Amino acid sequence: MKRFLKGMGWTVAIILLLWLIFAQSCMTFRRTDADAKKEFTAAGVSIQLSRIVVDGHTIHYAVTGNDTLPTLFFIHGSPGSWDAFRRYMKDPELLKRFRMVSVDRPGFGHSDYGKPEHLEKQSELISPLFTVLDNHRKRYLVGHSLGGPMIIKLASDNPGMFSGMVILAGSIDPAEEKPEKWRPWLFRTPLNYFVPGAMRPSNEELWYLKKDLVSLEGDFARITCPVYMVHGTVDPLVPYGNTGYGKKMLVNAASVEVIPLTGANHFIPWNRFEVIKGVLISL
């Protein structure tokens, strides 16, 4: 029996060690710049991958399209990175109409990977990019999931800068957030080391989000541009009810249009590409 238990102990130890190795090296939700350039070159699309440093923090981003055109700024969800929108950034029709910029939010991709920030700090770090890339053409914000409240904050902190916003399955309503009191146990204890890759900063910022959304309430009234909210009606992660909250809060937006996607889940940037592309073309 002792021999059996000893053997089981070694087996468990090996499994835990292998999982730790996996957790530290996999599910990073990012790719190298070299791999990205290879993919886009094969598609016949020129891509620029760059970094800026803001107050000691690195912000990494990708750019495609002609810099004489209006700009779409894509903001990914959690976890994720700029390449969540790579299909859009290679699309011939969109490239005829827009320059496209996709940003690695702080804590993800190659922007201080593993070190997430609250929405307010993220806005402080991302906002200088709008000046760096200013081409004196119209600018639009597109955000998916946690990228939804992020673009609300960005537009609020940069009043009058954007000509429109597209919120894709945005988690903007604090009342729709589940308590999830287990999350702090994953990033405040050694259990954090067992959480794989980008899921670690994601878990931490999703805990921040619950308070951040309450703080965000005052930002909605500062939005004056047209707003589109595209949301799946059976989204199991970010309930469709978020759209009603958005309509209620965006009191000063030039217009608010909700586009329900019947039967769609949370992953609409990928499984409802043509619909979302159509919304972008209509901007």
Q: Which band of pLDDT confidence, cut at 50, 70 and 90, is reported for residue 169? A: very high
Per-residue pLDDT of 126-144, as tens digits, reads: 999 999 999 999 999 999 9
The three-class DSSP label of residue 72 is strand
pTM for the model stands at 0.87
The pLDDT of residue 181 is 62
Q: Which band of pLDDT confidence, cut at 50, 70 and 90, is reported for residue 196? A: low
Per-residue pLDDT of 10-39, as tens digits, reads: 443 343 333 333 444 445 567 899 999 999
Name the more confident of 173 and 25. 173
Closest Cα to residue 57, out of 107, 120, 103? 107
Residue ranges of domains in the chain, CATH in brackets: 2-281 (3.40.50.1820)
The pLDDT of residue 172 is 98
The pLDDT of residue 13 is 38
What percentage of residues in the chain have a pLDDT greater than 90?
A: 75
* Cβ atoms of residues 74 and 127 within 8 Å: no
The torsion angle over the Cα atoms of residues 124, 128, 130 and 135, rounded to 10 degrees, is 170
SS3 labels along 7-71: HHHHHHHHHHHHHHHHHHHCCCCCCCHHHHHHHHHHCCCCEEEEEEEECCEEEEEEEECCCCCCE
The pLDDT of residue 191 is 52
The answer to whether the Cα torsion of 219, 221, 226, 231 is positive or negative is positive
